[in-house]
Structure 1
Amino acid sequence: MKSILLTLATFLSIFSITAQDLEKSTLWKISGNTLEKPSYLFGTIHLTCNASFDEDVKKALDDTTQIVLEIDMDDPGLQQKMMGNMFMKNGKTLNDFVSEEDYKTLETFFLEYLGMPLKTMLNIKPFFLSTMLYPKMLDCPIQSYELELVKIAKTQDEDIKGLETIEDQLKVFDTIPYQDQINDLLKTAKDKLKYDKENFAKMLELYSDEDISELLKMVVEDKNNSFGKYQDVFLNNRNKNWISKIKSLATDQPTFFAVGAGHLAGEEGVINLLRKAGFTITAI
């Protein structure tokens, strides 16, 4: 269930750095702006075949005293809160949005790839139906950087916190029209995951190369899903909301922040927004 959670404008000032200007790195040091000790910002990819950390990341973890993720993955009530937000609002079901032909396509697809009858999931948000398919996009046992960080925090007896609540995160999928979510799901079903698997493999290559700028570009320009259409909802608005929280947490104590790598680059990315807020952000 936790793996479900597991995502560019004009030049505004002389302090702005565009996506093309960023160095290839998934680990960045946050310093300056009255911070007594540096904190670190790490870009993750939520599902991967290998969630091991290199020595620079391990040192950053050793040099910090708390870990902050997008959400608190160690919250004992996380699964219950997630379950409470899985269903479409206002009594809507999948049948309200698809033709009989498209329903049959989805029904056959879910039986083939998940062995599950679609009729038992008609009121689940299309996004959640899509996330059930994520494990099928990797030909390996799935690992998670976030879950590895939770383990490290427990080993080091450190707090785990979140930049937003699970409720905040899941509201995104009430903002994005269900019809658009279903259209994305139908593309996956009609293509039988071929495009999605190829696309995810490319994303993993870019992540391995630590090319966060190209990773962002690939995600928002993907014509096969609605991500780019709702970039403000998926990324930009959330990034802006995080900056004051990052400042407060980093001021309180040296912190290891880990968010999806898609949040780092771009004019409205976390790196550029932190620089605008007066921090020195340095690639490691």
Structure 2
Amino acid sequence: MIGSNLKSSLLSLTLILGTILACNGQTDDNTNAVLWEVSGNGLSKPSYLYGIVNFLPKKEYSVPRKVKNAMKDCEVFATKLISDNSSQKKFNKAVRIPNDGWINDYLTDDELNQLRLLLMMRYDVREHAYHFNYSRLQPIILVTATTALDLGKNIIFPEEELSDIARKNKMTVKGLGTIQEEINAFEKFPIKDQVEALKYTVNNFEQHLKDYSQLVKYYIEEENLERVSDETLKATNESKPFQQHYYTERIKNWYPEIKNAINNNSTFFALGAPFLAGEDGLIQMLREEGFEVKPIALNKDKNQ
């Protein structure tokens, strides 16, 4: 069966679902940080934005000291939604192929055989688990599942780590969205884009893993949100409809609540990097409202 960590990864699709950004390879203060301080515009205390990805290699990542310190200075911890067993079950049901469909319906015989070999031979997925679980998942979920399986026990979920810290700090925890909103957004991911993303993964799996390693480098070493988004975009077949519904529309819908939160309490926001970056991202939205949003470098913060 799919393990609990993998189930959690299926619920939070931040790693694989990127934003559509015109990335020209340049870096500046708009992109070259994952932790940001929000101040000015009449705020009595700063709030913080922390761009996260779904999962990372445990050996390469732990929550940075500066992030922990920023959380200590805040009263509220906010993320895209509050996950519990009920919401996970609801989402896991939603990401299965509708009408008891099979992944066989979307792949050629050669691609299907490659997928089976990948899961069953390389990662020891049992026939029963493949038949009743993996083969019933929508294509884009299989893309992220293969990456998670490749990490094995060397996997860490930043959002879970941050949530634990928030609870220990006795912070108020809030979700900006709901599980139904998450499902509604996911359902607008065109199946043709999902299929192409899975075909690329199956036919170019070693390159797929290299792409993920590059994303990890951009996130941990370079702290570049634009490049993280550009790399994650490769896993979505550059689906513009999905970017629009999953990221752009949602962050706009959340913005009034975000602004209200920072006006009333010091708040630490942990959101997928694509929610923050780009012309339609939260950083730009706050700056246009008159807030000062400045980067906090972490790449020299190795005492974690």
TM-score, length of structure 1 as denominator length: 0.84
CA distance in 2, matches of 1:197, 1:104: 19
Partner of 1:105: 114
Q: Sequence identity, in percent?
A: 27
CA distance in 2, matches of 1:66, 1:155: 12
Structure 1 residue 145 displacement after superposition: 1.3
Q: May I ask how many residue pairs the two structures share in their alignment?
A: 273
The answer on whether the counterparts of 1:85 and 1:167 sit within 8 Å (CA) in structure 2 is no
Equivalence map 1:249-268=2 (5 Å): 249-268=261-280
Equivalence map 1:54-73=2 (5 Å): 54-73=64-83
Matched, 1:43 2:43: no
The answer on whether the counterparts of 1:28 and 1:281 sit within 8 Å (CA) in structure 2 is yes
The answer on whether the counterparts of 1:227 and 1:234 sit within 8 Å (CA) in structure 2 is no
CA distance in 2, matches of 1:166, 1:227: 24
Distance 1:226 1:258, change over 3 A: same
Equivalence map 1:19-34=2 (5 Å): 22=30, 24-34=32-42
More displaced 10-residue stretch of structure 1: 164-173 or 145-154: 164-173
RMSD, aligned α-carbons: 2.7
Q: What stretches of structure 1 of length at least 5 have no aligned partner?
A: 11-17
Q: 1:39 is matched by which residue type in structure 2?
A: S
1:152 pairs with 162, 165, 187, which one? 165
CA distance in 2, matches of 1:66, 1:23: 25
Partner of 2:154: 141
Partner of 1:241: 253
More displaced 10-residue stretch of structure 1: 177-186 or 111-120: 111-120
Partner of 1:269: 281
1:182 pairs with 195, 218, 222, which one? 195
Q: 1:83 is matched by which residue type in structure 2?
A: N
Partner of 2:299: none
Distance 1:137 1:260, change over 3 A: farther
Q: Secondary structure of 1:133's partner?
A: helix
Q: Secondary structure of 1:175's partner?
A: coil
The answer on whether the counterparts of 1:31 and 1:38 sit within 8 Å (CA) in structure 2 is yes
TM-score, length of structure 2 as denominator length: 0.79
Q: 2:81 is matched by which residue type in structure 1?
A: I
